């Protein structure tokens, strides 16, 4: 590849402010184009990012020879068609999580990447968040022995706090058809399922879920509270759980989405706690390690949620310039998507669901 990467942003909603950080910070990258159906919003983001070209039609951006790669930040129901079109136009693709609503859609995108020889990355920013990265580093070094269990907890807060997100951005998330599932257990859930896979070195085998659905309006649903548990393959026996608390009247201190996410990983010789992500409920270390009767607190990690986007964007640019595959590739993203779909099916059918069953039903 040439000496710099030229990126086009597709979808200029609120998340684009964070998604652009890595590209803007990288000395060998430029955002050269933006695209959004809302012309005023596209023009605003174009000015903010220094993009020379502003489009309201995706085909025009994909025909732009100055664009090497596109970052797709649109609603989930648009992901598959837009990613395939971008790959077939010869662009590398960063696709916001969840990559698609179904495994069949993701399969079509993966086939397009293989057919065209372009790079496909599914972007999940939690795995780039510095406390999460440090936790993985400690686990890999044996700091807690063999990981046995992971517990995640997400507490939603009142929607009038935190980021100001346009009503149109919220509307598609609460539509099961457009989102692919619930705004919590599918959209946000992809982060949590990926962290469950990222921090425990084993594949998820079976899933059981309770998900309570609240109707907010016509074709508008909220999925919480929820309790999702799973078992990993192999030995020793390892299990995990994720609890969603619908505390919609609680104030969650956050510059971003009003959600408090915490993780506990318990091993044969110690415990790790990750105490912060988007929310900042307590003044406490972002990461704590317990082992051999001693507690070690990590106070010097970057903890702004935006850092995960910045680092993830930088890694995507570096990967393309270096000719390597960035995380997540299609195969890894498929496993996490199958996990999310298994949870949804389990709750709907009131039974335990295996990952193998979900993959088999999708012909994979």
Nearby residues of 337 by Cβ (< 8 Å), 6 or more positions away? 98, 99, 100, 103, 106, 190
Report the length, in residues, of the chain.
Answer: 364
Is there a domain that residue 336 lies in?
no
CA distance 149 to 212: 25
Last residue of a domain, one of 105, 125, 145: 125
Give residue 163's pLDDT: 79
Q: How far does CA 363 lie from the centroid of its chain?
A: 25
| Residue partners of 44: CB distance under 8 A and separation at least 6 | 12
Boundary residue ending a domain (102, 125, 148)? 125
Together in a domain, 144 and 290? yes
> What's the sign of the alpha-carbon dihedral 279, 282, 284, 289?
negative
CB of 73 closer than 8 Å to CB of 96: yes
* % of the chain with per-residue pLDDT over 70: 99
Q: Is residue 332 part of a domain?
A: no
Name the CA radius of gyration of the chain, rounded: 20
Q: Are residues 9 and 105 in the same domain?
A: yes
Instruction: Give residue 52's pLDDT band: very low, low, confident or very high (50, 70, 90).
Output: very high
Q: Which residues is 78 bridged to in the sheet?
A: none
**Residue 331 maps to a domain:** no
Let me know whether 118 and 133 are in one domain.
Answer: no
pLDDT in tens, 113-163: 999 999 999 999 999 999 999 999 999 999 999 999 999 999 988 877 877
pTM for this prediction = 0.95
d(CA 92, CA 218): 37
Q: Does 257 lie in the same domain as 185?
A: yes
CATH classification at residue 294: 3.30.360.10
Verify that 101 and 81 share a domain, yes or no: yes
Query: Based on the domain organization, do 12 and 27 belong to the same domain?
Result: yes
Q: Same domain for 103 and 196? A: no
In a domain, 323, yes or no: no
The answer to whether residue 354 is domain-embedded is no
Indicate whether 22 pLDDT > 80. Answer: yes
The answer as to whether 333 is a domain residue is no
Looking at residue 18, which CATH number applies to its domain? 3.40.50.720
Does residue 359 form part of some domain?
Answer: no
Give residue 2's pLDDT band: very low, low, confident or very high (50, 70, 90).
low
Structure tokens at 121: 């990355």
Which whole number is the average pLDDT over 190-194?
A: 98
Name the domain boundary from 103, 125, 147: 125
Q: How many domains does the chain have?
A: 2
Same domain? 294 vs 241: yes
182 and 199, same domain (yes or no): yes
Closest to 124 in 3D by CA, of 301, 328, 314, 277: 328
132 & 253 share domain: yes
Which of 163, 123, 160, 190 minimizes the C-alpha distance to 257? 163
Task: Give domain status of residue 68, yes or no.
Answer: yes
How confident is the model over 245-290, as pLDDT tens digits? 988 888 888 888 888 999 999 999 999 999 999 988 888 999 999 9
Please tell me whether residues 258 and 142 are part of one structural domain: yes
- pLDDT bin (cut points 50, 70, 90) of residue 1 is low
Residues 76 and 185 in one domain: no
Please identify which residue in the block is written with the tokens 């890894």: 332
The boundaries of the domain holding residue 285 are 126-308+341-345
What's the mean pLDDT in 67-72? 98
């Amino acid at each position: 590849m040439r000496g710099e990467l030229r990126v086009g942003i597709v979808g200029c909603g609120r998340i684009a402010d964070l998604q652009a950080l890595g590209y803007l910070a990288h000395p060998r990258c430029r955002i050269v184009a933006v695209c959004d159906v809302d012309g005023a919003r596209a023009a605003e983001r174009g000015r903010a990012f220094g993009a020379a070209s502003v489009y309201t039609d995706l085909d025009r951006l994909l025909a732009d020879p100055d664009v090497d790669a596109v970052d797709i930040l649109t609603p989930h129901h648009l992901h598959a068609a837009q990613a395939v079109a971008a790959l077939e136009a010869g662009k590398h693709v960063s696709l916001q999580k969840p990559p698609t609503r179904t495994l069949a859609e993701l399969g079509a995108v993966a086939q397009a990447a293989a057919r065209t020889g372009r790079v496909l990355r599914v972007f999940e920013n939690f795995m780039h968040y510095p406390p999460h990265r440090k936790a993985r580093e400690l686990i890999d070094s044996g700091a807690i022995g063999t990981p046995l269990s992971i517990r995640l907890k997400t507490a939603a807060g009142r929607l009038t706090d935190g980021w100001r997100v346009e009503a149109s951005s919220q509307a598609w998330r609460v539509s099961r058809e457009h989102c692919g599932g619930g705004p919590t257990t599918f959209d946000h859930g992809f982060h949590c399922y990926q962290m469950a896979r990222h921090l425990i070195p084993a594949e998820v085998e079976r899933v059981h879920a309770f998900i309570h659905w609240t109707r907010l309006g016509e074709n508008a649903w909220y999925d919480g509270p929820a309790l999702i548990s799973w078992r990993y393959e192999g030995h020793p026996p390892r299990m995990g759980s994720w609890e969603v608390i619908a505390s919609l009247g609680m104030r969650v201190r956050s510059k971003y989405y009003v959600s408090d996410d915490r993780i506990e990983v318990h091993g044969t010789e110690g415990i790790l706690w990750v105490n912060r992500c988007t929310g900042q409920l307590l003044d406490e270390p972002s990461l704590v390690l317990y082992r051999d009767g001693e507690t070690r607190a990590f106070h010097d990690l970057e903890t702004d949620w935006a850092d995960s986007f910045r680092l993830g964007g930088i890694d995507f640019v570096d990967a393309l310039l270096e000719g390597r595959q960035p995380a997540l590739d299609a195969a890894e993203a498929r496993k996490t998507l199958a996990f999310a779909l298994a949870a949804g099916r389990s709750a709907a059918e009131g039974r335990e669901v295996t990952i193998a069953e979900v993959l088999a039903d999708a012909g994979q």
